[in-house]
Structure formats: structure tokens, C-alpha cells
Amino acid sequence: MSCPKCASNNIRKNGHRRGKQNHQCQDCGRQFIDYYSQVGYPKEVKENCLTMYVNGNGFRAIERITKVNHNTVIRWVRQVGIKLSNQKETSSIPDVAQLDELQTFVGKKNKRWIWTSVDKDNQGILEYVIGDRSSDTFEGLWNKIKHWNCYFWITDGYKVYPNFIPDGDQIISKIYMTRVEGENSRLRHYLARLHRKTFCYSKSDEMLFLSVKLLAYYLKNKNLSLII
């Protein structure tokens, strides 16, 4: 055993601290114990909890299974979601995009819509916004994607879209919306808070946004190890 400060081996026992053997260096006077408990959870526990979260488990269910307090898991989701939000993502610009809205709730009664945009030919949600079902909310998404200058934008014909999509560039067809509807279905399948009948629900717009961000990353990369 050596002193953690001066590396001296001139060590003697010096009572106990919080039930652990205490030692003192006779050269520099530094006191220390046999070992120190690990601060926080190891990365593997954090990754396991977040992976459970993006695979349909609610915070309370994760706590019951892993014994990690649900507030800790909530904090991890927020931390990683914010980290992802601050990263600049590079995605290929689609020639044909599909747009759709997914309804959910913040609180038990406050309706929210997740507006999503995808590439017709490739998997994954490219951009999204969360808010009500008005032009003001869609405008936030449109400002993110209008530079794509797609040949066509495929929608379900909701009345908001013609206010932004140029005449002749919108195709209204549920038949050709399989990609975006599939992506929205995956959101419902993987996130407990988006299940149609569930006790899990979002308590804030921020957590809903960050949860979708985390799930989108997971579905694209198949794991969370690189972002944790």
C-alpha cells in the first residue's frame, strides 16, 4: 500500500472512518482509507437503463428492474438528449420527402403533435418539431427542411401544408406515406410515453422532445454506447 499523495510506503493504520480502515502516511501526513466507493453508476448501468427506456420501458419499470432511482434515469435521458441536440447532424437531402403528424400528450390532457419528416427511400426521421397542430408549429419544421428543395412533398392533405409547400410540389396520398407512417409507428412502439393506452406520459415538452431525439439516435445507430 502506498500514499495516494506522495507514493510513500511508510503507512500506519489510524482508526476507522465510516466503518472503513483509515491509514495515515508518516511522511506527508495524508490520511486515506483502504478503498473509496465508486462515485455514481458505471457507464454500463447507464447504457443499460437508457437502452431499456428506448425499448418501451417507463422510468418506474426501469427502477423496479435495475434498482436505479427513476429520477436518476430521467436525468440521464435529459443529459444525453441535450448532448444530441447540441450536435450538428449531417444527413443526405432527400429528393422526395414525406411529412406527417403524430398525436400524443403532455400531462394527461394536453394534446401535442410530433411533426416528422423523412426521406421516402431511406429509414430514419430526419427532422421533427413538437407543438400544437397549427401553422405556427409546422412553420418551425418547414424552416428546417425547406432548403431541401425536394421535387415532391408527400402529405396526408392536412390543411396546413398548402400554406408552405409551393403549388404543384405537394402529393396528397396515404398510399405513398408508408415510410413516414412506419417511422411514426416505430416511435409509438419504442417509447412508452407514446403508447396509445399507457400510464406513462410526458410531463413537459422538453422531455418529450429529448426522448424522441434519443430514440431517433438509437434507431439509427442501434446502440447508445458512443453518446454516453
Q: Is the pLDDT of residue 89 over 70?
A: yes
Q: At what angle do helices 70-85 and 59-66 cross, to 10 degrees?
A: 120
Distance of CA 155 to the CA centre of its chain: 26
Residue with grid cell 429529448, as numbered in its chain: 210
Give the residue-averaged pLDDT of 96-118.
92
Average pLDDT of the segment spanning 13-37: 81
Residue among 141, 147, 128, 136 nearest 85 (CA): 128
How many angstroms separate the CA atoms of 25 and 1, rounded? 10
Say how far apart CA 102 and CA 115 lie, in whole Å: 6
At 88, the pLDDT band (50, 70, 90 cuts) reads confident
Q: How many other CB atoms are there within 10 angstroms of residue 149's CB atom? A: 10
Q: Which residue type sits at 31?
A: Q
> Average pLDDT of 94-102?
96
38, pLDDT greater than 60 = no
**Per-residue confidence band for 162, with pLDDT thresholds at 50, 70 and 90:** very high
Mean pLDDT score, 69-98: 90
User: Residues 19-32: what's their mean pLDDT?
Assistant: 87
User: In whole angstroms, what is the distance from residue 157 CA to residue 150 CA?
Assistant: 17
At 53-81, the pLDDT tens digits run 999 999 999 999 999 999 999 999 999 99
CA dihedral 99, 105, 110, 111 (to 10 degrees): 20
Instruction: Give me the pLDDT at residue 201, please.
Output: 66
Nearest Cα residue to 101 out of 71, 133, 74 = 133
- Of 2-6, 58-62, 153-157, 207-211, the poorest mean pLDDT is in 2-6
Q: Which amino acid is at 80?
A: V
Residue whose C-alpha cell is 430526419: 126
Kind and range of the H or E run holding 215:
helix 205-221
